[in-house]
């Protein structure tokens, strides 16, 4: 009899553990992109627009984190997360911690309780408060400043993933840009032709086919080939 009840208790115990196991980890970044990007700009620093329907997520994250009022400062993160969970579900002017000008500009956020669960909102908020930080903003601004200082041709090369096959002075899948420069120094049109229409067999030691980049405008082709020709 004792053995019988022991087995029954164990079965009930493990069933309870299974029923109450924590929900599978949710991807806050992916959920943010899926649920929030239609209204909020997610970039950092944000790309401000006069017609944006909602404030940038970075601004929301900074503002909420700074203005929530935890009972204990060590609980600021959790308090901010739970504020977002509650506000997204039941927004109101009374709960809002936005300044009057922002409320006037954007209006009150509509309830999202039919579009996102509490667990999903919690995952989004946790990602917000760990990703949109002053440290990450500082690093993003440094990276942006570094990118902005690049020659326009190099920006086009980065944008179109040219550097995935070519390095400036190192061969990869294809020849280096310096090698291309040396071979076609007097024929920029040949570089433009290869970029636009692709090529194969022009380089003895490279068997991979250069794909066509017909999506580039004539101006971009000119700028990119000019950058390659004038590499120092």
Mean pLDDT of the chain: 88
Burial of 125: CB neighbours in 10 Å, binned 0-12, 13-18, 19+: buried
Per-residue model confidence as pLDDT tens digits over 38-74: 999 999 999 888 889 999 999 999 999 999 999 999 9
Average pLDDT over residues 3-27: 47
For the entire predicted model, the pTM comes to 0.71
Average pLDDT over residues 109-138: 97
Average pLDDT over residues 138-145: 95
How far are the Cα atoms of 86, 99, 142 from residue 90, in angstroms, in the given order? 6, 19, 38
Residue 51: how many CB atoms within 10 A of its CB? 4
Predicted confidence at residue 24, as pLDDT, reads 62
User: HSE on the CB side for 168, CA within 13 Å?
Assistant: 8
Give 61-89 as a DSSP string.
HHHHHHH---SSGGGHHHHHHHHHHHHHH
**Would you place residue 101 in the very low, low, confident or very high pLDDT band (cuts 50, 70, 90)?**
confident
Predicted confidence at residue 18, as pLDDT, reads 38
Q: Locate tokens 């609980």: which residue?
A: 75
Predicted confidence at residue 177, as pLDDT, reads 95
Rg value, the chain, Cα: 27
Alpha-carbon torsion (226, 229, 231, 232), positive or negative? negative
């Amino acid at each position: 009899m004792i053995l019988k009840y022991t087995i029954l208790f164990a079965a009930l115990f493990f069933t309870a553990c299974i029923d109450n196991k924590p929900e599978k980890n949710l991807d806050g970044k992916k959920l943010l992109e899926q649920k929030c990007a239609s209204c909020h700009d997610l970039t950092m620093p944000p790309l401000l627009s006069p017609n944006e329907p909602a404030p940038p997520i970075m601004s929301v994250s900074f503002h909420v984190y700074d203005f929530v009022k935890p009972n204990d400062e060590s609980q600021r993160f959790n308090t901010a997360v739970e504020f977002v969970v509650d506000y997204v579900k039941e927004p109101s002017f009374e709960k809002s911690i936005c300044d009057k000008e922002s409320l006037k500009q954007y209006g009150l956020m509509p309830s999202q309780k039919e579009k996102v669960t509490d667990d999903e909102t919690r995952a989004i908020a946790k990602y917000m408060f760990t990703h949109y930080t002053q440290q990450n903003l500082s690093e993003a601004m440094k990276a942006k400043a570094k990118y902005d200082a690049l020659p326009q041709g190099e920006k086009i090369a980065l944008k179109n993933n040219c550097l995935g096959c070519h390095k400036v002075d190192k061969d990869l899948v294809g020849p280096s840009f310096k090698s291309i420069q040396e071979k076609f120094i007097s024929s920029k049109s040949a570089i433009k032709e290869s970029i636009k229409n692709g090529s194969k067999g022009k380089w003895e030691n490279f068997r991979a086919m250069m794909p066509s980049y017909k999506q580039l405008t004539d101006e971009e082709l000119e700028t990119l080939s000019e950058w390659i020709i004038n590499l120092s």
